[in-house]
Structure 1
């Protein structure tokens, strides 16, 4: 449920807004109404608010001052301004205070519903990112690198799979959450990585950015776990770090030589060590992990099977289908139908 507050000094207007929202918008709870700025401030100071509809011309403090207070408190409240005047100066001030939308009075029902539903949709993306960040925090404490990387990839796939909205806002919110995690863990992100994250605000971040964004967020996970080559030389951790290397490069060509280089040992020794430790050859393990990742993508995304094969470095879709069926017992198409019925 989303908590909504209406700030409007005209009783008939306030009642109309409450009636329309209560009857027409699912998942909201109108937790308060205010006739003036003083009443609005009491509501703001006493509870969390997801969405506030505020008339600019209420008795002091006025609507703009109310919005300024919300922003100074760093509340993530969505703000919709109600005004009877289409004044450029007012709009300029509201934009500077990061108001989310404007409605001219008398408010039309269709416009009200459109604006409110858009705000709630953005709040939904933000809440999802918060929940994912909490899960990542738990995985960080468990040192569960592979599970964390898988969670991040699945969340990004779910963002790109949303048909009703562009992925840009959700990606920016997710990157903000991960940077907050880094700050909590006192992890100093590499300056080059911080630059790439900062540049996200200047990009369109549409479907064409998918693979690059996946790679960037894998780098963020690496930084959170502080996976560095200095760990590779320590025998107890050597194999785990190689497995981590495989996970973050699962969509690239991974050779035995590359993995051995990560572990700072010879290819011959690494091959024997890997089989002894994992119970299967390096090639078989990589193939198994790619198929597991393919299963995740088939379940959680609408990507064409050919794209999934290419993303996982299978140059031939027929070979991918053959390997997949041998591993899973179903063709990729059969698996997708069975798990998304």
Structure 2
């Protein structure tokens, strides 16, 4: 995911730049500043900016001063200057500030696209991969497909969790995923503004600390909370038909860390408990209670493998008040006791945590 800042005081120019960048860099998060003061605020706000477009003739501080300020903070940010002035002295001063390119207005679209791709070293395969992930994320939320969403979430987080907690490539995929979620909340506007802030905080947290065993549940709990807000919003705005079985599954996923009863889920599904129980088994091929157990044990397996939580703590977090009962359910589902499962998936850590 690329953090890109556009510093431009002409609304038409700014909109044109934003549109072209969005078209040629699929995984771009674009920030805008119409004055030098706002640009400096953005520079202070972000830990890293991949590329910045600066119009030299913006209101004070001018573009030259903005770039000077940026260079005190970052030598790595790619800088593209845009201006209608072709004065040689200005051009020379720009290159003294390690500007990557200097474009005279009006800039042809083809030249701008080539400059962006060359400067950022945009990989078309990465663009396509990001495009596919964005479509998947937006579709899962908009269609209220809660269970597949949770599966994607855990796949992403677990993929970034190795013993040392520093799998950089996989962690970048998690950040890219969360940036796409952030884009979704931004598109929805003020109604998801609180959720957007939580996603932003989560991105900062993972960037700073990674996803190590003593923080694993904190990350998962935060993401499940964010997911609940996203899917509550999507559910309220969904225009399609959701049958009572899908309503039941939705309610189960929403409350996966809480105690779930047949009566509660049936009430949310607008059918009687007896009817839901019979129909659930007939339609899904698995009993209602077994379905809930399977979903909870899936989370338990991740907690056993990637967190430092003790077995009885995991049981409580999954709303099993009796840890012995949790152990029986876990063994029934997996064929192993929780402590034995942990020894297999995390042999180096098992002795202290079981």
Normalised by the length of structure 2, the TM-score is 0.49
Deviations 1:275-322 (A, max 9, x none): 333344422221122123323444455544334323322233322222
Matched, 1:318 2:298: no
Cα drift, residue 248 of structure 1: 3.2
Note the alpha carbon deviations across 1:56-103, whole angstroms, 9 max, x for none.
xxxxxxxxxxx9993229xxxxxxxxxxxxxxx9997136765569xx
| 1:227 alignment partner, SS class | helix
Which residue pairs with 1:250 in the alignment? Answer: 256
Aligned residues of 1:231 and 1:237 also touching (Cα < 8 A): no
Residue 94 in 1 paired to residue 70 in 2?
Answer: yes
Residues 304 and 267 of structure 1: CA distance in aligned 2, closer, same or farther (over 3 Å): same
Task: Answer yes or no: is 1:291 the counterpart of 2:289.
Answer: no
User: What are the superposed Cα offsets for residues 96-155 of structure 1, whole Å, 9 maximum, x if unpaired?
Assistant: 765569xxxxxxxxxxxxxxxxxxxxxxxxx99x96884463375576542221121342
What's the secondary structure of 1:239's corresponding residue? helix
Picking from 154, 175, 178, the partner of 1:175 is 178
Q: Which of 140, 152, 163 is residue 165 of structure 2 equivalent to?
A: 163
Pick aligned residue for 2:281 from 269, 272, 275: 275
Distance change (3 Å), C-alpha of 1:97 and 1:193: same
Q: CA deviation at 1:171?
A: 6.9
Unaligned runs of 5+ in 2: 1-24, 26-47, 55-64, 78-124, 210-214, 348-354
Distance in 2 (alpha carbons) for counterparts of 1:68 and 1:267: 54
CA contact (8 A) 1:325 1:331 kept: yes
Deviates more, 1:331-340 or 1:241-250: 331-340
Are the counterparts in 2 of residues 294 and 308 from structure 1 also a CA contact under 8 Å?
yes
How far the C-alpha of 1:231 sits from its partner, in A, is 6.9
What is the distance in 2 between the residues matched to 1:294 and 1:338?
14
- Secondary structure of 1:285's aligned partner: helix
CA contact (8 A) 1:305 1:332 kept: yes
Q: Is 1:218–2:234 an aligned residue pair?
A: no
Alignment match, 1:190: 192
Inter-CA distance 99–259: structure 2 relative to 1 (3 Å threshold) = farther
Residue aligned with 2:243, SS: helix
Aligned residues of 2:252 and 2:260 also touching (Cα < 8 A)? yes
Q: 1:90 to 1:178 in 2, by over 3 A?
A: closer
CA distance in 2: counterparts of 1:295 and 1:68, whole angstroms: 37
Does the CA-based 8 Å contact 1:260-1:267 persist in structure 2?
yes
Q: Which runs of 5 or more structure 1 residues have no equivalent in the other structure? A: 1-47, 49-66, 74-88, 102-126
Please show how residues 25-64 of structure 1 align to structure 2 within 5 Å.
none
**Cα offset for 1:177?**
2.2
In structure 1, C-alpha distance between the alignment counterparts of 2:131 and 2:314, rounded to whole Å: 26
Equivalent position of 1:228 in the other structure: 236
Please tell me whether residue 329 in structure 1 is matched to residue 329 in structure 2.
no
In the alignment, the residues of structure 2 paired with residue 132 and residue 217 of structure 1 have an alpha-carbon distance, to the nearest angstrom, of: 21
The aligned length equals 231
Change (3 A) 1:92 1:255: farther
Measure, in 2, the Cα distance between the counterparts of 1:175 and 1:301.
21
Equivalent in the alignment of 1:137: 135
Q: Report the CA distance between 1:242 and its aligned residue.
A: 1.8
Contact 1:172 1:201 survives alignment (8 Å): yes
Q: Which has the higher contact order (CA 8 A, sep 6+)?
A: 2
Provide, for residues 11-51 of structure 1, a one-character-per-residue CA deviation record: whole Å limited to 9, x for no partner.
Answer: xxxxxxxxxxxxxxxxxxxxxxxxxxxxxxxxxxxxx9xxx
Please, what TM-score do these two structures have when normalized by structure 1? 0.50
